[in-house]
Structure 1
Amino acid sequence: MENKNALTAQEVADILKIAKNTVYELIKRGEINSYKVGRKVRFTMDDVEEYIARSKNIQPTPQASFTLSDKEGHHPHNFFNTTEFYGKSFVICGQDIMLDVLSNYVEQHPHGGPALRAYIGSYSSLTALYQGSIQVASAHLWDGDTGQYNVPYVRRLLPGIPAVIIHLTYRMQGLYVAKGNPRNIKNWNDFKRTDISMINREKGAGSRVLLDEHLRLLGIYGSSIKGYQRESQSHITVASTVARGGADVAVGHEKIAKQVDGIDFIPLQKERYELVVKKEDMHIPQIQAILEILRSKEFKEEFNHIGGYDTSEMGNIVAET
């Protein structure tokens, strides 16, 4: 009898946002684990999570080890120091599927060109931009003192570098809890409780910064929360951990809650997800192409039917620092 929690190749493709044929290529290359039920190939969620963790190859330091990916999800370049790569290729940094679609559009744009992807969190993304390792950073970093997204962090992490912040989308951030919310978790104050456990995102991720800022404002030390030191590098992993009872709560955005069975989502805060580029790079063809693409009806319609995205201000220049 087949495991009811088994995933098909198509379901894995949907989770990873890649073509079904690419899933079979990953199996052939030994990059993702699978098993067979008769002639049918099946996967577990652990197989998918392990693949995501390996493929990101994240080192959250200024000299991060990036995994740069082409539009098919292959990883042709691994750099321990990508500074020397700067100027030879165009790199968009961030973890949302919207950026994968954007890179495809940039490659197909008449004034664009090849666009590689680096999968790291917001804080490290801005640091990589400062180091000259990438050309486009993405960020959703909330500052608890000002109530602003991204601008305070861009000023701190890119000192002396004029930058332009371009709005990408609004997303809803909140809490993942088990279906039916058996622990009756409601808001940030519940992190004071001693009867719940959590799973965290890695340091520098926007969701981690959001949590830490709220904990700071509430006077809660992370060390007092069971599971706070347990980190994961993907929204899917933290959500699925909650779904299977490995933790009571995690912080993430709404879109992932629609992709993982067995969890409910508690909306808490609307966030701004934005792109950051150096002002001196605004003339680069790929960046000009990005502005045109973000402001196009065609690109916005790609996401209007998905849910979890508000594209009403997409392409607007938010600030120049």
Structure 2
Amino acid sequence: MGQFLTPQEVADLLKIKKNTVYEMVKRGEIKGVKVGKQLRIDADVLQASLSPSGAEEDPVILCGQDMLLDTLCDCLGEAPYNIKAYRSKQGSYNGLFALYQRQVHMATAHLWDGQSDTYNLPYIHWMLPGTDADVYHLVRRQQGFYVPEGNPKGVTGWEDLKRKDLIFVNREPGCGVRVLVDEKLRKMGIDPKDVRGYTKEEGSHLSVACAVAEGEGDYGVGIEKIAAAMDNIDFIPLQTENYDLVIRREDRDKPFAKAAVEIIRSEAFREKVRHMGGYDVSLMGQEA
């Protein structure tokens, strides 16, 4: 009998999150078996499934929380590239840290620096010391407040973070939205402890919007695309952000990096993302 691995052991082996392992099993990309009530993965079957002929020996891990990255991973897996690629749903800050630690192959970022009023490049410089990186534009997105339909509390902008009659729905540390909120608070001289609801954290744009829709808070920050898909949420635009792809420069000639850049510069991929709605693809593929 071969060796059976737990989902956590597979996650550690592939340097991905345990939830990603469950998703891979659900999609049929790796085979799981039940041992009693527990899910287990045969180590020999895992190795065979992740090392197909013509593909890169190890799966490529791409960090980011936007669903367009699933489309990029799908394109990498198709001919002529045939590169197995998986998305690790880490936020921008944590994704850059994972890239620096060589836990992943590529990362995405939408990190606003309040000092320079720019996106991503300052953080890449700080978080990848001694590491040159190639940065490519993916999309531009609108960040703003999610509020209940009709905006009953009259939320208008960042200054509303000072209001004591509002309950905020925050995001988790390490994601781009959390960095944006914390930078805005710092610039406005607001102590996070003075923001009602600051410690209430959700793990995605959608979960923030749902929390607001269900009355758990009065407002929260997220991308416009999510609000557009919900009937009971209005969107208050705050600023346009750059969402970029980051690859270590030493990897630029590796098959996965060359394929990723070729894909995001293709009109076919641009059209796929454009049809998703909510994205400005005018700069896609250009170097930042």
| TM-score, length-scaled by structure 1 | 0.74
Cα pair 2:16 2:88 within 8 Å, conserved:
no
Distance 1:130 1:198, change over 3 A: same
Q: CA deviation at 1:66?
A: 5.3
Distance 1:148 1:130, change over 3 A: same
Q: Which among 94, 106, 126 is matched to residue 156 of structure 1? A: 126
User: Which amino acid in 1 is paired with 2:69?
Assistant: L
Q: CA deviation at 1:65?
A: 4.5
Q: Which among 192, 200, 203 is matched to residue 222 of structure 1? A: 192
Cα pair 1:66 1:120 within 8 Å, conserved:
no
* Counterpart position of 1:176: 146
Please state if 1:124 is matched with 2:94.
yes
> Within 1, Cα distance between the matches of 2:194 and 2:16?
29
Distance 1:290 1:272, change over 3 A: same
* Counterpart position of 2:8: none
Please state if 1:191 is matched with 2:161.
yes
Gaps of 5+ in 1: 1-57, 79-84
Cα pair 2:114 2:183 within 8 Å, conserved:
yes
> Within 1, Cα distance between the matches of 2:72 and 2:24?
12
Distance 1:70 1:215, change over 3 A: same
> Within 2, Cα distance between the matches of 1:71 and 1:301?
30
* Counterpart position of 2:35: none
* Counterpart position of 1:210: 180
> Within 1, Cα distance between the matches of 2:17 and 2:78?
28
Amino-acid identity (%): 44
Please state if 1:146 is matched with 2:133.
no
Please state if 1:257 is matched with 2:215.
no
Aligned residues: 251
**RMSD, aligned CA:** 2.4
The secondary structure found in structure 2 opposite 1:199 is strand
Distance 1:198 1:314, change over 3 A: same
User: Which amino acid in 1 is paired with 2:90?
Assistant: I
Please state if 1:280 is matched with 2:250.
yes
Q: Which among 144, 161, 170 is matched to residue 200 of structure 1? A: 170
> Within 2, Cα distance between the matches of 1:138 and 1:210?
15
Distance 1:272 1:73, change over 3 A: farther
Distance 1:66 1:317, change over 3 A: farther
Q: CA deviation at 1:195?
A: 0.3
